[in-house]
Amino acid sequence: MDFSKNALGQERVSHLEIKGYELLQGKWVFEGELLGGCIDSLYDMLTPFTHSDEPEIIEKYQIFPTIEEWRDKLLFIETSEVKPSPEIVEKMLVCLKDKGIFDVISGIIVGKPQDEVFYEEYKQSLIKVIDNKELLIVYNVNFGHATPRCVLPYGIRVRVDSEKQEIRLLESAFM
């Protein structure tokens, strides 16, 4: 949590990856275009808790995707270095649910929690809040704040194969 110059050169905490991707529900293989990001940031965009005027600005300038822009997308989410409690993550998920996002997306890719903090609890929160056994959810993917990490580019069509433990980039919506 030290982001000062004193942290330069310090070893990062690492974890032996024995779990791999976990399919929480749905089909082993699925495809879709990526849209999402850090759930903390998405939540901040929709609520006045961090900055009281943020939701107003987000709406005024149409920064947050519309429900139609979410339709058939694969939502990718992950938690930040703040490592929010499972109760806070549930609030964040409820906020996305209330926006109708879980009603129109085709699946969710969830990043590995940083330092595997609340690893099991986050899984339970996802299943509890989403409450839709038809919605595909793959968990423990290395992107976002946890290391090692990769980049998931917005708008790229991907094929997720939980059994093979891979995500293949297929094409860009921007090509």
Give the tens place of pLDDT for each residue, 88-110. Answer: 999 999 999 999 999 999 999 99
**pTM (predicted TM-score):** 0.89
**Residue ranges per structural domain of the chain:** 20-172
Topology annotation, domain 20-172: Glucose Oxidase; domain 1 (3.50.30)
pLDDT at 173: 52
Report the distance separating Cα 43 and Cα 38, nearest Å: 9
